């Protein structure tokens, strides 16, 4: 099932387009009627997603950029406006894996490096897009994580970064709300796609069981007894970008098949 044309005629900038969720957000937003600006470091990956957007009848701009660089981000926003004349929505999906090390042991330099991509890049892009979003009465969606909802061993640096991203999103909602800009977050749990499938294969081989055994064991912790797909998480972002969410800001929508309740 595809989303209704919730974003018909809008321009959505997806900052941080990877092969999984980022690509799904771009293609689902396009299916909902939007033209898409695609940005990440790897141009080849962006071209592949752009082709899928165009096959669906929408326009796509491929704009590679280092989202930790001020000048590169300024150029990205300028290119988007020059191409499409507006920006109605921004999705901050850039992510750098933080060290999976207890906070009592992690190197502070590694935390700083992850913050540059996971938190400060989102702030940078939101600030740069704000004038266009104000003109459009637009919205920002931050892609967060279910790491917010637990304190499992070795997740400290990960949770620290995502908690900072959530706090920033809430503060931006208060600051930008009077300008007509909404800021919300989506917090996925497991996303059953490439990296997770690889991990399940690894666990299955290590434990001498099948991939399906690992899936069933993991899914058993969710209310729906299954794991969300990238497109299902992407649809939550599409909703928050749309006018259907016109009175929603400062919120975090969990998409985890009921693994955690919030």
Which residues are the active-site residues?
A: 158
Round to the nearest angstrom and report the end-to-end CA distance of the chain: 27
C-alpha distance from residue 13 to each of 36, 38, 143, 187, 241 (Å): 6, 6, 13, 19, 11
CA angle 239, 185, 182 (to 5 degrees): 70
254 φ, ψ (degrees, to nearest 5): -80, 135
Residues 6+ apart with CB under 8 A from 57: none
Gap between the Cα atoms of 135 and 192, Å rounded: 37
Contact 100, 55 (CB under 8 A): no
Q: In sequence order, what E strands does the chain have?
A: 11-15, 35-39, 60-62, 89-92, 139-143, 182-188, 252-255
In this structure, how many other beta carbons lie within 10 angstroms of the beta carbon of residue 36? 31
């Amino acid at each position: 099932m595809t989303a209704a044309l919730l974003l018909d005629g809008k321009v959505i900038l997806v900052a941080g387009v990877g092969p999984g969720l980022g690509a799904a957000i771009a293609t689902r937003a396009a299916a909902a009627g939007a033209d898409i600006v695609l940005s990440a470091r790897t141009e080849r990956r962006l071209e592949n997603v752009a082709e899928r957007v165009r096959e669906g009848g929408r326009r796509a701009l491929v704009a590679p950029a280092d989202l930790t660089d001020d000048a590169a981000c300024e150029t990205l926003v300028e290119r988007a406006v020059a191409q499409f004349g507006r920006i109605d929505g921004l999705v901050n999906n850039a992510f750098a894996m933080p060290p999976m090390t207890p906070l009592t042991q992690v190197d502070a330099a590694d935390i700083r490096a992850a913050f540059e991509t996971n938190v400060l890049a989102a702030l940078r892009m939101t600030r740069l897009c704000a004038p266009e979003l104000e003109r459009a009465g637009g919205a920002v969606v931050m892609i967060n994580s279910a790491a917010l909802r637990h304190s499992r061993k070795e997740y400290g640096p990960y949770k620290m970064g995502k908690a900072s991203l959530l706090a920033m999103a809430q503060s931006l909602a208060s600051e930008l709300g009077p300008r007509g800009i909404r800021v919300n977050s989506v917090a996925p749990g497991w996303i059953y796609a490439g990296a997770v499938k690889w991990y399940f294969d690894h666990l299955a081989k290590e434990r001498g069981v099948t991939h399906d055994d690992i899936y069933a064991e993991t899914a058993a912790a969710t209310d729906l007894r299954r794991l969300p797909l990238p497109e299902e998480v992407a649809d939550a972002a599409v909703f928050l970008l749309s006018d259907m969410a016109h009175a929603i800001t400062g919120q975090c929508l969990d998409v985890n098949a009921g693994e955690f309740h919030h």
